[in-house]
Structure 1
Amino acid sequence: MSQTIQHIVKSDNLLISEPNKFQAEQLRSEEMIINVGPQHPSTHGVLRLEVISDGETIVDVVPHLGYLHRCFEKHAESLPYNQTIPFVDRMDYMAAMNSEHVWVMGVERMLGIDKDIPKRVEYIRVLVAELNRIASHFVAIGTYALDIGAYTPFLWLMRDREHIQRLLEWICGARMLYNYIWIGGLYYDLPVGFEDRCRDFIKYLKPKLLELQQLVIDNKIFVQRTANVGVLPLAVAVNYGCTGPVLRGSGLRWDLRRVDNYSVYPELDFEIPVGKGEMGILGDCWDRNNVRVLECYESLKIVEQCLEQLQGKYVRTREFDPQALVPKKIRPKSMEFYIRGESAKGELGFFFKTDPAGKSDTPFRVKARACSFHNLSVLPEISRGALLADLIAVIGSLDLVMGEVDR
């Protein structure tokens, strides 16, 4: 200890002599720049965060993007509408079925055939989209638990997600990038016996979701790490364009499956879970994760109802052609059109500007409205003033997929 220190009193600050007082104040407020990523596992992809910190306290966070630029929009502008579906898969690769569903709905509405899609096709689309939603949430919750130090939940959720992956692989032959939902229909009908195996999976998963609630969400350590952390006020969430579980975790019951009532969702019975601030302040990391778990229950209810329809009223027939409505050349009329749907992470939208002459089967302009991009934009707002250790918890609670952010 320096001999110039005269005395120490019990207070918030050290009282030191004048020669060292200025130097001590400088050290006390000196800021550091810390790079998190772009290869850090907790950034859930190639995201680089430039963190400005004062000791352990975050002063500001600056996200840097572009490490996984997929050129989706330019790909879409150079290919026919139906050949773009594999590129749609590669945006949010955790919930590719949901992305395909939105893209296909947009093209079908531009062609004016959306009302002619067979009900069996619509129920199959919703069935696979909800299975994929559960699989996406399992990755979000499992990797989140891994981020904050729990290894077992990750292994359990990957085990249960594997059952969904095998079901989807049975349908289309792919485990992640499906190319299954096609314009005017589907790649092919469900395999024989799929509905019965799917029912067996539902029976298996229901008690596992209860285990997940007890092991992770209600765990005392998990609550301490997530409650009152990364609080996102509802007004801020709306102003930044947040959607999905990030928005609903702040208390707003906004879900496009109910708001826009697309496909067969109006015929299905399910609830929209929202955050209630049960363990801390409304809109914290705990609320966002709890909403995802509750949504898995609701998605299972939707899957059960789809199976009832597919095995009851809309059974498979030999006359069923999953691609009967598709014209050989997909050439929508000249228009500007926007379509949106509820992906696993929020509102996914596509803006189309078709060929002004109406003679081309490739769009003139395409723009994707990625939910992960908007959810990421709120990160600096809810991280300022938090501890550096809590930044990882905040990032994971947003459930980012960088393929969708960079497009």
Structure 2
Amino acid sequence: MGEIHDINFREPAARLPATHDATADAAAEHIELNMGPSHPSTHGVLRLVLELDGETIVKATPHVGYLHRGDEKIAENMTYTQFIPYTDRLDYLAPLANNVAYALAVEKLLGMDRQLPPRCQYIRMICCELARISSHLLGLGCYAMDCGAMTVFLITFTEREKIYNLCEWLTGARFTTSYTRIGGLSRDLPHGWVDSCRKFLREVVVTIDEVDRLLTRNRIWLDRTRDIGVITKQDAIDYALSGPNLRGSGIEFDLRKAHPYLAYNEIEFDVPVGATGDCYDRYLVRMEEMRQSVRILHQCLDKLPGGPDNASGEPINVSDGKIVLPPKSKVLTQMEELIHHF
């Protein structure tokens, strides 16, 4: 794909250095600052010991701390299905995507990842792309607020609220959804949900364009993002970066394209990449990824097997009773529903 770093309407007279040579001013007085573990911008997740020279971070020492919760050890005493709620909390910004990733891993171990019903695959893709838009909206909104653009923060969080409304309607929860099941889904799309999702897609495109208008050519935003935090291609590989951070450094790699899962091989979309690997490139990549997610969602809704209300009765779970748990309504009334557990 072509590079998206094409905003060349001005040449800065003096660009800020991409990296800071700490040895050049060794005699200067540096400030040591603790960021976290209880810091308003980190939500109590970790501690960073920062060494500052003015506004430049010359050294950062991470202490994992609260990020280590022993999920793997907890999982040893659970069934595969019981661990699903824990995946919601691995990245609470995208619980729907976490559920799908975990379920796909278990299904691959069971040798049934290619046996999922088509409707289930498309609904999972819809969930993943909604989660992607939600995460990018949060990232852009908080980043803009840190740079003084409060308006962008309010705009993006308004759109995220609409996604939460869709999640609540679909799963019964706004944050920790636990929607995916091993071998399928917990429930089908409710009546009218697809129409509401299409309405949201029309509205979020307008919001993305509005954020683009407010930030992309904004002089303050450019000064705060261009040539800042440059990550070269080699550094991105060495540090095992992924997602927009990897693609922002100019590496065109996306699992949905390189190793398609679910039904992504049936969907058309582009993979945006950056040119210089700075904060501005990563911003542009996230902006374009949201547009591509909208494009993917439109295709998923159009191609959804069974249509919006599943009039043809397409299954959303595999038929193997040893893997898929029976509906609770049947467990309470029909003894034979649990026969596969003995």
Whole-Å separation in 2 of the counterparts to 1:311 and 1:54: 57
Report what 1:207 is aligned to: 206
SS of equivalent to 1:58: strand
Q: Does the CA contact (< 8 Å) of 1:227 and 1:284 recur in 2?
A: yes
**Residues 387-402 of structure 1 correspond to what in structure 2 (within 5 A)?**
none
RMSD, aligned CA: 2.2
Whole-Å separation in 1 of the counterparts to 2:119 and 2:267: 14
- Shift of the 77–248 alpha-carbon distance from structure 1 to 2, 3 Å rule, reads same
**Residues 364-403 of structure 1 correspond to what in structure 2 (within 5 A)?**
none
CA offsets per residue over residues 139-195 of structure 1, 9 Å max, x none? 111011112222111111110111111011100111111111111110100001111
The runs of 5 or more residues in structure 2 that have no matched partner are 1-24, 325-340
Q: Does the CA contact (< 8 Å) of 1:113 and 1:325 recur in 2?
A: no
Name the TM-score, length of structure 2 as normaliser.
Answer: 0.82
Q: Does the CA contact (< 8 Å) of 1:195 and 1:311 recur in 2?
A: no
Q: Does the CA contact (< 8 Å) of 2:120 and 2:316 recur in 1?
A: yes
Q: Does the CA contact (< 8 Å) of 2:191 and 2:308 recur in 1?
A: no
Report what 2:218 is aligned to: 219
| Identical counterparts, % of pairs | 43
> Offset of 1:326 from its aligned partner?
4.6
- Shift of the 115–329 alpha-carbon distance from structure 1 to 2, 3 Å rule, reads closer
Whole-Å separation in 1 of the counterparts to 2:217 and 2:262: 35
SS of equivalent to 1:83: coil
SS of equivalent to 2:231: coil
Amino acid at match of 2:41: S
The runs of 5 or more residues in structure 1 that have no matched partner are 1-25, 277-281, 331-360, 362-407
> Offset of 1:217 from its aligned partner?
3.0
CA offsets per residue over residues 272-318 of structure 1, 9 Å max, x none? 01113xxxxx1111111111111000000010000001277796146
**Residues 244-393 of structure 1 correspond to what in structure 2 (within 5 A)?**
244-276=243-275, 282-310=276-304, 316-317=310-311, 319-328=313-322
**Residues 156-195 of structure 1 correspond to what in structure 2 (within 5 A)?**
156-195=155-194
Report what 1:20 is aligned to: none
SS of equivalent to 1:81: coil
Whole-Å separation in 2 of the counterparts to 1:54 and 1:205: 40
CA offsets per residue over residues 101-150 of structure 1, 9 Å max, x none? 11111111211222221101100100111011101110111011112222
Which protein, 1 or 2, shows the higher relative CO under an 8 Å CA cutoff with sep ≥ 6?
Answer: 1
Name the TM-score, length of structure 1 as normaliser.
Answer: 0.70
Report what 1:133 is aligned to: 132
Whole-Å separation in 1 of the counterparts to 2:98 and 2:190: 22
CA offsets per residue over residues 347-373 of structure 1, 9 Å max, x none? xxxxxxxxxxxxxx9xxxxxxxxxxxx
Structure with the higher strand share, 1 or 2: 1
CA offsets per residue over residues 192-238 of structure 1, 9 Å max, x none? 11111111111122121110111123322111111111111110110
